[in-house]
Amino acid sequence: MLKTNHIIDTILFASRDIIVISDAEQQILQVNTAFENYFSNPPDDSLRMMLADLLVNDSDNEKNFQNTLASYQDWEGEVMVKNNENKISKMFACCRWTDDEVSGEKSCITIFWKQQYDVQQYDKLTALPNYFLFLDRIEQALIAAPRTNKSVALLMIGLDHFARINDGLGHDIGDKVLIAIAGRLSDAIRRSDTVARFEGDKFGLVMQITTVEDSVLVAEKILKVLNNAFIIDDQSISITASIGISISPDDTLDRDELVKNTESAMRHLKKLGGNHYQFFSREMNQKAKTRIDMENKLRHALKNKEFVVYYQPKVNLENNAVVGAEALVRWLDPEKGLIPPGDFIPVAEEAGLIGDIGEFVLLTACQENSLWYKNGLNPARISVNVTASQFSDKNLVKKVQSALTQTQLPPHLLELEITESSLIGDMEKVIEKLQIFRDMGIHISIDDFGTGYSSLSYLSRFPITTLKIDRAFINGMETDAKTAEITSAIIGLSRGLSLEVVAEGAESIEHVNLLRKQGCDLVQGFFFSRPVPANEFEVILGQGYLYDS
Ligand code: C2E
Ligand code: MG
Ligand code: MG
């Protein structure tokens, strides 16, 4: 009789389906031949990957996949799998946990297979062709166009900030908007062209064109038809979109590459603010590659605990006392050294990793501050940044509560910094959430104040404690009288609303003196101190003051 191990090896070798065995943390332990064929990865490289690295990680289903596995439950469903050349395939995944009989160690066995037979071709919500049919239409266009001396233009239409509609107005309204958009897009194109729902808030359009200008005209038309407000359940909803465009044969002959290029053009545009169209370029391709690379590295960084929290002191201008600090995350990459948050937070946000990073920062800041407090240092209020997606996370309240309980930090020594642009959507809900934090005793500040578009009428209703004047206004106040007027006005506004006011980015004695004259409460900036590691901040806190002369 064959030994069990030998039987298992034979099954792994013979299976056409991809089989991956991972450990309790979902790091890959073993893969089979089908995996190696699909990923063209040397087995050793695969073993350093996480199960999640195999997925596109763009959909709710995939988030659900990860969350379920994180709690050691079995899962099955559809996922988008990407190989190391970023070729994407929709596959069915079935994950099962098992415990080792002897050691009790958990392993997860995941089998991926392509479900070619029963893939439906139309999107259930909008009745437009779905991703699969769309890929097929692109393929057909690529074959047909050269016969009539035409080119193929692929447009990817990404709705800007669609999550705000879903989060703010609810998924029902979100769905109705998507259906209405599908209708307008279908009306805007020729019958010979195909418009499809790619996934979520992304639509695709493939058409045969004679000149590149044809695609510009269509992109402009689409932006125009979307710009007319949608009236859904008596609410007027405005939508803008980012349209990426890629042309074959100019950019590539390959279908999957064409899709990838179009998507990177769209993403690039979204970062610039959206509501426009943009053609793919080689340089963009390089950027997209770097981004994917960083996404993978960020996942490892989380696992390897490569993030550290720095603290930048906040100083009371009346007596120069250090009253708190802002917790600012840094990534200590083993190869590149210290990476500033501006370089990775946006990627982390897009990759859905900001929640984990944010939780780490929150917990670390609470832990360290609690220790300083218990050791008898002057009580300091430490602020932690919360991005828009973190703020809309349903579990944020629980996470904050749990950090406070775990670390026994008095709640009034914690502050959440929320940017103006996060406080949008359903205002009543926003206010309710802020109130929960206030009721817990936590301070709330509006970060980068003056750069967003908060409505002053809401400002008086937001249960907040602090305004943080954006660095842009401080930088320039010493030379430009109008800029100084703005800081003075924000300080006056804070007074009127009984809010504390903090100036961020004070770099010189001139800044500090002007801000003091204007009646600003607190200052945070390089003039007093750069963000420093915890041990250095502890020394500053022990000394109690930072001097300005
Ligand atoms: P922010 O919240 O507005 O943080 C202030 C930024 O201004 C920090 O940059 C700080 O180093 C910088 N700064 C402070 N004083 C001066 C000054 O006098 N001159 C100049 N030129 N800069 C000054 P940093 O640490 O690079 O952080 C950048 C942004 O990254 C932060 O802006 C925040 O939005 C985000 N961020 C940082 N840490 C976290 C985090 O833990 N979670 C989240 N969600 N975002 C974070
Ligand atoms: Mg901040
Ligand atoms: Mg700021």
Average pLDDT over residues 242-262: 93
Residue whose Cα lies nearest atom 45 of ligand 1: it is 385
pTM of structure: 0.62
Ligand 3 centre from 361 Cα, in Å? 16
Stated as kind and residue range, the H or E segment containing 23 is strand 18-23
Strand pairing class (500-504; 522-524) = parallel
Closest atom of ligand 1 to CA, residue 310: 25
Strand pairing class (522-524; 307-316) = antiparallel
pLDDT at residue 66 tops 50: yes
Query: When comparing pLDDT for 6 and 546, which is higher?
Result: 546
pLDDT at residue 504 tops 70: yes
Q: Which ligand is closest to the CA of 386, given by its number?
A: 1
Ligand 2 centre from 444 Cα, in Å? 11
Pocket of ligand 1 (CB under 6 A): 312, 328-329, 340-342, 345, 358, 361, 385, 387, 417, 447-448, 471, 504-507, 524-526, 531
Q: Which ligand is closest to the CA of 342, given by its number?
A: 1
What are the structural domains of the chain? 6-113 (3.30.450.20), 119-280 (3.30.70.270), 312-543 (3.20.20.450)
pLDDT at residue 191 tops 90: no
pLDDT at residue 492 tops 90: yes
Confidence (pLDDT) at 273: 87
Closest atom of ligand 1 to CA, residue 386: 44
Residue whose Cα lies nearest atom 20 of ligand 1: it is 505
Residue whose Cα lies nearest atom 37 of ligand 1: it is 328
pLDDT at residue 38 tops 50: yes
Confidence (pLDDT) at 285: 67
Stated as kind and residue range, the H or E segment containing 418 is strand 414-419
Closest atom of ligand 1 to CA, residue 358: 42
Confidence (pLDDT) at 117: 41
58 close to 64: Cβ distance less than 8 angstroms:
no
pLDDT in tens, 278-332: 999 877 667 767 877 888 999 999 999 999 999 999 999 999 999 999 999 999 9
Question: Among 345, 468, 522, which is best to mutate for testing ligand 1, by the most ligand atoms less than 8 A from CB?
Answer: 345
pLDDT in tens, 128-173: 999 999 999 999 999 999 989 999 999 999 999 998 898 888 888 9
Q: Which ligand is closest to the CA of 422, given by its number?
A: 1
User: What stretches of 184-303 adopt beta strand conformation (E)?
Assistant: 194-199, 202-209, 230-232, 235-237, 241-248, 276-279
Closest atom of ligand 1 to CA, residue 448: 3
Report the chain's mean pLDDT, rounded to a whole number. 90
